Chain A
């Protein structure tokens, strides 16, 4: 049974884990390696570390974090943030990371995706896309302020219902999303779906897809965006941005058609444990990794 994955994301700044709310107003949530080992013990399937300040502050690559993590964490982990060259990627992989994410650097130099895929293998090249809905294109419901305890807030359910029956039409949803870089600060004018398709052709082994509109809101993933990208590419998509409830995780994997769900706040602040998330998804019939709590 091939399993869907639950991935806590640890945003790292100056050696500490933080979680931004819409990328501002950071809060400190602990030591990254200690947290990572705890997530491994709790049954997280993978981990992602993002150095969220790196891409605009040109921080040094966090190889030290990779090396320390490799000593204590025995699940796959991914490191991203500010990687600009093949040499950056090589150093992080050599330090013990299993994969890297590239975002701004890949948009600036798409050849970097191809070169890294050829040299290190597609399986360790994750292209991160920060996408924001383009104003004026058909927007899904965005029930801000509603309690997200599992309501039927499917963006696809509203505007998509009529036109969405044909798979071909849904491949090209009426909504459009723009790629942002530099930690979500800089619009590029690039269409997110077109970028995903191109990056996959270049050798991206996986996509980490973050909805800028939802990130930090706890309103749930942008399911229409997630599904659109999942259908456009032939590699796994990790849904990211906006998780507030376990229902949101389930939605990302079912309606969003993602292969993995990424979340930060709900795990970091103990709203839900990884085990609770796993049991919730399993109860919905979603294939997740069987983990014995006292292994």
Chain B
């Protein structure tokens, strides 16, 4: 397997070192970049991010990185969104006043309604759906992963739901459609399970999607 040219998109939202190091551990040749040109040249794109949806969406817009990401997704390049990088795929988020997202997937992002403490922080188990078959390959069952979030995606098309987790009710933990994978949890902080999931992505990326 040749290591794909994988670009981690740096749009100023959070520390990307952990994501980049974990992808390297999973076998990828990683470039962290903040230019649309680098994204357009990427063999695979990873959109991480921690922070507020509103700021993130504004930064993606202003920098041209958002348009470049959507362009690559449309071209069929393997894509992985992590945490905020999942939420940004949707049409809008309730966080910070209904700011539009990238609109790659139909649906919205809503505040967690759990009756429990929010943010949802810590390890939780995943329940996979058919769309998650590629992501889940080789993972133990049950697999637990590390979450930190206060908002969760509500896809219009339930068929894109790849995994759910139970925290005062079921919440979307991962989505997938064609070349687009995205996870609400942090694979880079989910030990062997997270690294295996990243390796699954790197393997797909090496095949060119």
Q: Are B142 and A290 in contact (CB under 8 A)?
A: yes
Interface size class of A (residues with CB under 8 A): 20 to 34
Would you call B119 an interface residue if the criterion is a C-beta within 8 Å of the partner chain's C-beta atoms? yes
Flag if B123 contacts A3 (CB, 8 Å): yes
Stretch at the interface among A93-101, A128-136, A174-182: A93-101
Q: CB distance B121 to A3 under 8 Å?
A: no
What is the bound-complex CA distance between A122 and B17, given in angstroms?
21
- Chain B residues positioned under 8 Å from A295 (CB to CB): 140, 191-193, 196
Q: Is B117 a contact partner of A235 (Cβ separation < 8 A)?
A: yes
With A93-B15, A290-B140 in contact, is A74–B189 under 8 Å at CB?
yes
Interchain CB contact under 8 A, B188 and A74 = yes
Binary interface encoding of chain B residues 1-44 relative to chain A, with 1 for a CB under 8 A from any of its CBs, else 0: 00000000000000101100110010000000000000000000
Tell me whether A74 and B144 are in contact in the complex, defined as CB-CB below 8 angstroms, given that A123-B119, A236-B121 are known contacts: no
B14: shortest Cβ distance to chain A, in Å? 9
Within the complex, which residue of A76, A95, A96, A234 is in contact with B117, where a contact is CB–CB below 8 Å? A234
B interface bracket (residues with beta carbon within 8 Å of A): 20 to 34
Q: For chain B, what secondary structure do more than half of its interface residues adopt (helix, strand, loop), or is it mixed?
A: mixed
Q: Which one of A122, A205, A291 has the greatest number of beta carbons of chain B within 10 Å?
A: A291
A76 to B190, CA, bound (A): 8
List which B117-136 residues lie within 8 A (CB) of chain A. 117, 119-125
Complex Cα distance, B193 from A41, in Å, reads: 11
A13 CB–B CB distance under 8 Å:
no
Q: How long is the Cα–Cα vector from A176 to B51 in the complex, in angstroms? A: 38
A75 to B166, CA, bound (A): 21
Which residues of A does B touch, CB under 8 Å? 1-3, 5, 40-41, 43, 45, 67, 70-71, 74-76, 93-96, 98, 121-123, 205-206, 234-236, 259, 289-292, 295
